[in-house]
Amino acid sequence: MRTAIVGAALLAAGVSAILTGLYPATDAFALLERVWPVLLFVVAITVVAELAAEAGLFDLLAAWATRVARGSAWALWLLTAAVATVSTIFLSLDTTAVLLTPIVVTMARHVRLNPLPFALTTVMLANTASLLLPVSNLTNLLAEQRLKGSSAGGSGTAAFVALSWAPALVAVVLPCIAIAVLGRKNLAARFVVQQREKLRDPRLTTAAAVVVLALLPALVSGMPVWIPACVAAGVLAIVFAVLRRDVLRVSLVPWSMVVFAGGMFLAAGAVEAIGSGAVVRELVGYGTSPLALLRVSGVGLLGANAANNLPAYLALEPAAQHPVQLMALLIGVNVGPLITPWASLATLLWHSRLQRLGVGVPWGRYMVIGVVVAPVTVIAATLALAAIT
C-alpha cells in the first residue's frame, strides 16, 4: 500500500510538471512509448509467476531441492542459490523476491533449518543476478533499447550479453561467497528429508511447467519480451479458468508495483527535463578506462541507494554515451542496491514477504552486510567489464 502511495505521489509530481510546462508533453509521450513495453512485461511475467505458484510448480521445485540435497544444508543452500540465479535471470528480480522468498523460507522451516541464510541469498541474488539478460531487470530492458545499433556490435540481446556476461558472473559469485561465510555455522547442519506432500492438482502443475519451460527460450529469442510473457500469462489464465476459476482475481496484477514504477519513470523524466543533465554529465564523467568505468558504476551505486535503482538509472542514462559506460551504469544500479531498504523494489517486496512469514531481518543488520558486499561486488564486476572491453 505504501508503495502505491509513493508511486501516486510521484505520478502527481510528474503530471504537475507537465501541466506547468516544466516537462514538455512531447517528451512525456516519448517516455511513455519507451516504457510501456517494460511495464506490460512486468505485469505479464508477474501473473505467470503467481499462477505458476498457485499451480504448485515452485512447491514442487522446493520439494525436489530437499530430496536432492540429501540432508545437507550446504547442498540445499547451493540449490537455492542456483534457483534464485536462474529465476532472476529469466523471470526478473521482482519475481524472485516475491515468489521464491516464501518458498525458501517454508523449505528451510520444513526441514528445521535457520531460514535467514536462504532468505538473504534470495534477496541478494535477486538484485545482483539481474545483470545478464535484458529480461532480468527493468533497467536492462531500457538499456537494451540504447544498445541496439550501437558500436558494441550486433543488436538486442546478443550485444547486451557480450558486455554483461563477465560482470554478471562476478556479481553472482561474490555475494554467494559472502553469504557462505556469514552463514557457515547454520549451513553446516544436517536435516532429515520429509515425505513429499501430494500435488493439489497435477493437471495445473503440469500445465504451468510446460508453459514456463516454453517461455524461457522465448524470452531470449530476440522478439520483444512482452509478447511471449503476455502469451504465457494468457495460456495459464485460460487453464485456470477451466480448472480453478477462483484463482483468477484482479489482485494477480501487481498494481502497486506498476503505479510505483510508472511514477518513478515520470518523475525521473521530469527531473531530467528541468535541467539535471549537465550535473549528471559531470558526475558520470567521460571515457572507458577502468577508473572511468568505476566512476560510472560508483555513481550508479550511490544513486540507487539514495533514491531507487529505476529513477537513478533514468537520471544517469543520458550521460552514458558509450555502450561500455552504459553497462558500468547497470552494474552500479543493478548490483549496488544492497544497502538501503528502498534501493530496489525487489528488496522492499522481499522484506514485506518476510514480515508476513514471521522472519525478522533488522534493517540495521541488513545495511551493515550491504555496506561491505555492495561496493566490493560493484568494483569487482566493473573491473571484469573493463577486462573484456
Match 561496493 to its residue by C-alpha cell.
375
Is 70 domain-assigned? yes
Is 339 a member of any domain?
A: yes
Cα–Cα distance, 218 to 48 (Å, whole number): 14
In b/e form, how buried is each residue of 133-154, taking b as 16+ CB within 10 angstroms? bbbbbbbbbbbbeebeeeebee
> What is the reported pTM?
0.83
Range of the domain at 237: 35-192+213-388
Please check whether residue 28 lies inside any domain of the structure. no
Phi then psi dihedrals of residue 72, to 5 deg: -100, 120
Considering its fold, how many domains does the chain have in total? 1
380 occurs within a structural domain = yes
| pLDDT, tens digit only, all 389 positions of the chain | 677 788 888 889 888 888 888 888 888 888 888 788 878 988 898 899 889 888 988 778 777 888 888 889 999 999 999 989 998 998 889 888 888 888 898 888 888 888 889 999 999 999 999 999 988 998 998 888 777 755 544 556 888 899 999 999 999 999 999 999 998 988 988 888 766 666 678 899 999 999 989 988 888 777 888 899 999 999 999 999 999 999 999 888 888 878 887 887 788 778 777 766 666 777 777 888 999 999 999 999 999 998 888 888 988 888 888 899 999 999 999 999 999 988 988 888 888 778 778 888 888 889 999 999 999 999 999 999 999 98
1 within domain boundaries: no
Q: Please identify which residue in the block is written with the cell numbers 545437507.
A: 72
- Answer yes or no: is 207 within a domain: no
Domain annotation covers residue 197: no
Inter-helix orientation angle 277-284/309-316, to 10° = 90
